Structure 1
């Protein structure tokens, strides 16, 4: 069948589907913004200029409002209705929403049946709850990674693929926390971490025109390799077993030998071994350990390297003095207190960077409760919160790191930390399901920036701030090169 005939068949199928499932809204539902073309609906407007289009819809129709996108209705919240979605997780399900557009759960289901709720508890207790333990180890690995992948830069060095380089640096402390201190010594494991993260990220870019026909068809194509037995992370399982199986066997042996006297090691691998209760090693246990650990790998490296990629081009000159003072006071060895309580300017800079790098709309939720009459996907119009003059005055679009610091007449200053979620800051979600790993992630980012600021003068290759790339309502870190030059 010729290419044109295939396109005609797909278009005809989509048109019939549109007639069968044309949106019919009941009373008390968010208004559906009028559209001119069947099937297409508002798709082109969102792909071409979602930033201005969503702003116009909000101004004209209020919030929330609905759009006809890719053959289905999507509801978008605004600054006031977003909080209602985040605090009612029993009605608006984020996990189901994200899995419809990015089926990461399907990838790992082959290896483990660990639930999202359990993951959240483990991350909160075993990672964010142990920052005092992990801070010196993270610092050591970050310094090692920076020396290896950036170098001394006595001659200016241009790095163009910033996010890939940052992924390699971040992989070292992640390996330390997940696999133990010996885990970061295997270079092939570090490369595996970064490649696995990249391969999983690619799954979100299935051909979106399939959503014209039905969202399930889009998801089917996204996970098609899985149906034919090819999983993008299977090869990484083999390496994981090769490197970690002897260590797992030894830890199980010691647990059996020492019983209640066994002291759990400070890494996720040992936690999950203990939680499994296994007294012998088998494929089921190895698959489970691989699945849960690489789920954490993907979440931690992807988000952290993205945040750093946005922050580096915007680095603020005044940050150097603060970091140098902290460096001298700590003799170069940061404590958790140094990172949490002393890096006020850096923390505020980072929060402002988070605000400016927020996607235009993201964090899809699916309505699952009976309290609402509409049954569809709900996207948070994040930019309406991030740049709202209700929270940020008359200059919400300006990059002002000090806007998160409040000074009083008695000389006291108070700042709003980057880990704090509230109505004005939803980078980490909100409600009881706010990102449990944000405390660890923010500490890790601040330590990495601390070392980079002390070591290098960093500027964009063009001398200008390169804007992020916008794809529909997502933002991708700018692609311009960064110049690193030894500060000393």
Structure 2
């Protein structure tokens, strides 16, 4: 990129809306070697070789910091009403307690998925209805994750659900404004563009009385009091330092985790609607597995076509063009001689790797839902004669969406791979499986068979937020 201040600023602003062309230009120009581009946050060092991404993945936090990148990228000092938070008590809770409890919690996930779709769609008979896919998916996702975070009745309170969704968008919007604001002016600008304190106070109003009551019961009856809810809030109360075990701080943590966890099913819904040719095979698999296993986490694990469909959606339409983002805390020289100055932001070109023909074949930019069923012996067309047999090939496919590698960077790689990825993938599969068995879905007529275009801003990609899909309840 240009080296002068004005040239760098002009380049950064030009590509703020769409960073991918700049990344691709640099990748092609430098043949996959590291290069830099100016962004509104500072110099971004783009890496793409598997050797360097592995090196970044194992480099310690005090050298290449994920937390400091997050603080800068999301301007957490202002957007989360909190100073730089290098201690994150919720990370081990998500990594350990949430993942370990997925089997036990699945009935609640299933119950909320069914209720959330039913109450959000409000379909009558078997008539087609045009639904804004993005908003519907956000609502269903927010309800489902908060069934596990805070339980009933809060996850079904429209005011609570709207707050969780709004907080996510408020943080993202405010961070964008603050990043292009000179540092000296940020405290002033933040007063007008951030709603963190207001949102956290709102959360305190909604959850405060319930948290206060839980703290009272814990003080009177001990840590494992009878009827203690098995949810994320309880686990946080077990793990956070005593000074942070207050209704206000616990409510703030719940909001922050929502910000990290609320994702959208809309990309997968758009692909179901765009490629109806694949629906019958997905539906057959879900029907067969559920008939044999019932609705359970074990059943989800055997839906290998669904796993491949979801993994391919994440590969082609993933949320991030860059991953493994870090901030250099001091000057760093990588093993190939690449110099990363203190304050620069190294990152891996995720989308470039995900559409690399050397990795994924000549059709790397094409959506192929069975791509991850491919093995060294060819394509798995079924689960074999013995449906209960658990072959090594099936295990490989089954774990694809949650297993980070140098070629699979949806959830990052190395020491900061997303701790909640097992929960996210199981939740998405539960929602998709329910859609397949309960609804028909297609594009609207005005789409003319074309998938709604994704939207990009900086290194982020989201599904089209205005596009609708047609949905009806299945007759059978």
Q: Which residue of 1 aligns with 2:177?
A: 206
5+ long unaligned stretches in structure 2: 334-338, 385-390
5+ long unaligned stretches in structure 1: 1-31
- Cα distance, 1:52–1:185 mapped onto 2, change above 3 Å: closer
Equivalent residue in structure 2 for 1:366, among 318, 327, 341 = 327
| Deviation sequence 1:87-106 (CA, Å, 0-9, x none) | 32433212211322321354
> Any residues of structure 2 matched to 1:71-150 within 5 Å, and which?
72-80=42-50, 81-90=52-61, 91-104=63-76, 106-110=78-82, 115-150=86-121
Q: CA RMSD in A?
A: 3.2
1:320–1:454 Cα contact (<8 Å) kept: yes
Q: Which residue of 2 aligns with 1:486?
A: 473
Moved more, 57-66 or 80-89: 80-89
1:310, distance to aligned residue in structure 2 (A): 5.8
2:47–2:346 Cα contact (<8 Å) kept: yes
- Taking the aligned partners of 2:139 and 2:315, their CA distance within structure 1 comes to 25
Moved more, 383-392 or 436-445: 383-392
Equivalent residue in structure 2 for 1:245, among 208, 212, 226 = 208
Equivalent residue in structure 1 for 2:292, among 329, 335, 350 = 329
- Taking the aligned partners of 2:18 and 2:75, their CA distance within structure 1 comes to 26
- Taking the aligned partners of 1:108 and 1:196, their CA distance within structure 2 comes to 10
Q: Which residue of 2 aligns with 1:66?
A: 36
SS at structure 2 position matched to 1:136 = helix
- Taking the aligned partners of 1:48 and 1:167, their CA distance within structure 2 comes to 23
- Cα distance, 1:482–1:39 mapped onto 2, change above 3 Å: same
Moved more, 120-129 or 418-427: 120-129
- Taking the aligned partners of 2:208 and 2:10, their CA distance within structure 1 comes to 53
Corresponding position: 1:440 with 2:433? no
1:288, distance to aligned residue in structure 2 (A): 1.1
Equivalent residue in structure 1 for 2:136, among 165, 174, 189 = 165
Q: Which residue of 1 aligns with 2:387?
A: none
> Any residues of structure 2 matched to 1:171-186 within 5 Å, and which?
171-186=142-157
1:93–1:365 Cα contact (<8 Å) kept: yes
Moved more, 434-443 or 401-410: 401-410
Give 1 or 2 for the bigger CA radius of gyration.
1
Q: Which residue of 2 aligns with 1:430?
A: 413
Corresponding position: 1:349 with 2:298? no
1:141, distance to aligned residue in structure 2 (A): 0.8
Equivalent residue in structure 1 for 2:24, among 27, 40, 55 = 55
Equivalent residue in structure 2 for 1:291, among 252, 264, 270 = 252
1:366–1:377 Cα contact (<8 Å) kept: yes
1:455–1:487 Cα contact (<8 Å) kept: yes
Corresponding position: 1:192 with 2:163? yes
- Taking the aligned partners of 1:140 and 1:55, their CA distance within structure 2 comes to 43
| Deviation sequence 1:178-221 (CA, Å, 0-9, x none) | 1133432433222222222222232233177x46xx5x36xx54
- Taking the aligned partners of 2:200 and 2:468, their CA distance within structure 1 comes to 34
SS at structure 2 position matched to 1:428 = coil
- Taking the aligned partners of 1:201 and 1:312, their CA distance within structure 2 comes to 28
Corresponding position: 1:471 with 2:457? yes
TM-score, length of structure 1 as denominator length = 0.80
Q: Which residue of 2 aligns with 1:455?
A: 438
- Taking the aligned partners of 1:467 and 1:89, their CA distance within structure 2 comes to 38
1:473, distance to aligned residue in structure 2 (A): 4.0
Count residues with an aligned counterpart. Answer: 440
| Deviation sequence 1:204-251 (CA, Å, 0-9, x none) | 33177x46xx5x36xx54x646447x8514344444334433333332
1:140, distance to aligned residue in structure 2 (A): 0.5
TM-score, length of structure 2 as denominator length = 0.82
- Cα distance, 1:194–1:231 mapped onto 2, change above 3 Å: same
Q: Which residue of 2 aligns with 1:155?
A: 127
1:47, distance to aligned residue in structure 2 (A): 4.6
1:124–1:437 Cα contact (<8 Å) kept: yes
